[in-house]
Structure 1
């Protein structure tokens, strides 16, 4: 139960008792930041080096003639490519979980919790491990609400 105070005049105060949705909850769902369920501050594994690249498909009409509405900003990119350095790691040791705005990577020696700059299509991404370079390359399609208007 929460107590709220309402001022009903000069000196009269009325207290209203407002019942919360679930009396055992500590926070409302709106108060918890997205992706915080993955935070693990007690995990001693180090964070690997990573790089975020933005990728877009352009043709000659975009590059030479400027016929589309695309420009060189990240707002016009279709994909996010995340390159993660994982030295001394085998492909079978990698656990990767991708949500709409969070990438969670775990190996026996490294962990990475990355909050993505845009919402992504978490079901149709691609990941490949380049063993010669000891790098995991994850490609994710960016989802924006009005892309069908801007780039249709």
Structure 2
């Protein structure tokens, strides 16, 4: 007999349901996905918009003191799990500060200029009301500083 990868493990369970498992239950609607499945910020996507995406860099930051560096008393390490903030540097050549339109949500950053557009899904949720943005005209760089929202850190990282 010929044995293949599907023969490894216990035999599959047979289902009496017409379409296999009950994990997916289709609603009576003609929608192909629900509102919960759509990522935040997807309504900003415009495939017909020809503006290019600018270069950007995400830097995760920690508040570190001498007790962390020399003595290691707080238990911080260089992992991203110990970071409290993030800085996003966006290069915007030939752009003025007055041309920049910036909208920051909990998990999404939307930047629009006449020449560029950036829809960025953030790696961690942030406090959208506590951010700061600064445009450096000499370097043509926008720096956005955001404080991360990590409500479970006090429980998970102790």
Instruction: Tell whether the 8 Å contact from 1:69 to 1:151 is kept in structure 2 after alignment.
Output: no
| SS of 1:43 mapped into structure 2 | coil
Matches within 5 A, 1:1-152: 20=28, 27-149=33-155
Matched residue pairs, number? 136
Note the aligned Cα RMSD (angstroms).
2.1
Instruction: Tell whether the 8 Å contact from 1:62 to 1:70 is kept in structure 2 after alignment.
Output: yes
1:150 offset after TM fit, Å? 5.7
Structure 2, unmatched stretches of 5+, are 1-15, 18-25
CA distances 1:108-137 after superposition (whole Å, capped 9, x unpaired): 000001110000011110000011110000
CA distances 1:57-84 after superposition (whole Å, capped 9, x unpaired): 1011111111112110111111110000
| SS of 1:64 mapped into structure 2 | helix
1:42 offset after TM fit, Å? 1.0
TM-score, reference length from structure 2 = 0.77
Instruction: Tell whether the 8 Å contact from 1:100 to 1:121 is kept in structure 2 after alignment.
Output: yes
Instruction: Tell whether the 8 Å contact from 1:96 to 1:106 is kept in structure 2 after alignment.
Output: yes
